[in-house]
Amino acid sequence: MDGAELIGKIFFTWLSLVLGLILLPSAFGVSLGISEMYMKILVKTLEWATLRIEKGSQKESVLKSSASVGIIQRDKSPMEKGLRGRDFELSDAFYFSKKGLEAIVEDEVTQRFSSEELVSWNLLTRTNINFQYISLRLTMVWVLGVIIRYCVLLPLRVTLAFIGISFLVIGTTMVGQLPDSSFKNWLSELVHLTCCRICVRALSGTIHYHNREHRPQKGGICVANHTSPIDVLILTTDGCYAMVGQVHGGLMGIIQRAMVKACPHVWFERSEMRDRHLVIKRLREHIADKKKLPILIFPEGTCINNTSVMMFKKGSFEIGGTIYPVAIKYNPQFGDAFWNSSKYNMVSYLLRMMTSWAIVCDVWYLPPMTREEGEDAVQFANRVKSAIARQGGLTELPWDGGLKREKVKDTYKEEQQKTYSKMIVGNGSLNTDSD
């Protein structure tokens, strides 16, 4: 009995601390300074660890070169310059062989679907492949960090996540029973904001928002680069959105069904997602109502590893209306937010997130953009993508994120073949004057 009473007191004390020091402040968007103090200690610790590594490692310059340049140093000059020929030559085959070998060793596409490598160790499991034992003191700090992350932070974060998700499901279900009115909309937004703030706090999230005067407005479309499923939480902490996505099963399906009762989210069945015209029609109907929340869309269609922005699908830009671009950039020093769905399932991914130091990111709201006269959907999508890449300091790539799971389309191969054929037609020169 005494043991049961002791466990009950410990559990009650634990919940009281979580409720009073974390849950209530995060629900109201207030900080008691605990997160700030934690981040200051963490930054100082990582700075100290970096200095210890630099002093103990004789390969510092090699590490930096390897992380910044990659395995190989490729020539990014266009085909015309690389071949340097006017007529067809048998040696042209060596140029294509060279490019092919470069792609096999390290291409610029598939490396975007794995976690970016760090120059210096951040006291987590993932680090530079060249890292080795440095000192006993550094090892002891790592062991202490493991104890803190798994024995203190993980139980705390799991508790907050459970409370946040439970409140979201229960709250949206209850709000969904109310008749449509401005009060219901206000209450729905309050529930979404509150629960998302709790869930972000469950990841020790520190978010820096910039240019809030450009936040997406009702009746518009918010498009952002996509790194992780928590991108939704990051953005919803600062404002509510109508989500667009495929219907899921399991826990995700329960959350989706509860959320759509309180807010006009746009969920599609798998068969409907293949019907592009149906998707565009439903989205147009949504933005036609200026009282509805802005739609949140990730045009890349898959998660990219926080270093690049890949091709934006044109469907989001055929709808019309105002586009509100948003750039999201995570700081990998404190935790890896990228979700490699081909390697980790959702549970494993969340465990990695909840055992990291923190999730730190910057969010930039860009000025609204509209489709210009004579501009097609693809050109508009590329213009928005370029703006996001520049603001977030991300590499802009023309490749389709679908290459994460699919083979290269024949059209990509045909484009290279056509470019080469133009070079050898007309006595081996590109006839640009006639254009």
For 264, phi and psi rounded to 5 degrees?
-75, 65
For residue 357, the tally of other CB atoms under 10 A from its CB is: 22
Distance between CA atoms of 359 and 348, rounded to whole angstroms?
16
Q: How far is CA 239 from the centre of its chain?
A: 18
The sign one gets for the Cα dihedral 212, 382, 359, 199 is positive
Query: Which pLDDT does position 103 carry in this prediction?
Result: 63
| pLDDT score of 273 | 61
Alpha-carbon distance of 274 to 72, in angstroms, equals: 39
Q: Which long-range contacts (CB under 8 A, 24 or more apart) does 134-142 make?
A: 134/52, 134/53, 134/56, 134/57, 135/52, 135/56, 137/52, 138/49, 138/52, 138/53, 138/56, 141/45, 141/49
Cβ proximity of 304 and 112 under 8 Å: yes
For the sheet with 221-224, list strands across it: 205-210, 359-365, 323-330, 221-224, 295-297, 242-246, 266-268
Q: Is residue 225 part of a domain?
A: yes
Residue 263: the pLDDT is 85
Q: Which two tokens stand for residue 190?
A: 């309050």
Distance, in Å, from the CA atom of 35 to the CA atom of 15, rounded to the nearest integer, reads: 18
3-state secondary structure 247-262: CCCHHHHHHHHHHHHH
In a domain, 106, yes or no: no
Residue 377 structural domain: 136-409
Q: How many residues does the chain have?
A: 435
pLDDT at 289: 83
Digit-by-digit pLDDT tens for the chain (435 residues) are: 567 777 777 766 766 766 666 777 766 667 777 788 888 898 898 888 888 777 765 444 444 444 444 555 556 655 555 555 556 666 666 666 776 666 666 666 777 777 777 777 788 865 545 555 677 888 888 889 999 999 989 988 998 888 889 989 999 999 988 888 889 889 998 899 888 988 898 888 899 999 999 999 988 999 999 999 899 999 999 989 998 877 777 777 888 888 888 888 888 776 666 666 777 888 888 888 888 899 999 998 888 988 899 999 888 888 888 999 999 999 988 988 898 877 888 888 888 889 999 999 999 999 999 988 888 989 999 999 999 999 999 989 888 877 766 666 667 667 767 766 766 664 444 444 444
CA distance 231 to 239: 13
Taking the model in full, what pTM does it have? 0.80
Question: What's the total number of domains in the chain?
Answer: 1
On whether residue 183 sits in a domain, the answer given is: yes
Nearest to 160, CA basis, from 233, 256, 249, 257: 233
- Cβ burial, residue 87 (10 Å; 0-12/13-18/19+): exposed
Closest CA to 198 of 28, 426, 344, 386: 28
Whether 102 maps to a domain, the answer reads no
Query: What string of DSSP letters covers 201-248?
Result: HTTTEEEEEE-GGG---TTSEEEE--S-TTHHHHHHTSS--EEEEE--
272 Cα distance to chain centroid: 25
Q: Is residue 244 part of a domain?
A: yes
Q: Does residue 152 sit within a domain?
A: yes
Query: What's the CA gap between 50 and 41, in Å, rounded?
Result: 14
Q: Are strands 323-330 and 359-365 parallel, antiparallel or unpaired?
A: antiparallel
CA dist 425 → 91, 95, 416, 430 (Å): 17, 18, 14, 7
Residue 33: predicted pLDDT: 73
- On whether residue 203 sits in a domain, the answer given is yes
Q: Quick check: is 215 in a domain?
A: yes
How is residue 321 annotated by DSSP?
Answer: S
Task: Give the orientation angle of helix 154-175 with respect to helix 182-201, to 10 degrees.
Answer: 170
Count of C-beta atoms within a 10 Å radius of residue 405: 10
Give the whole-angstrom CA distance, residue 400 versus residue 302. Answer: 10
Give the pLDDT of residue 62: 44
Structure tokens at 87: 């007529």
CA angle (136 as vertex; 134, 141 as ends), nearest 5: 95
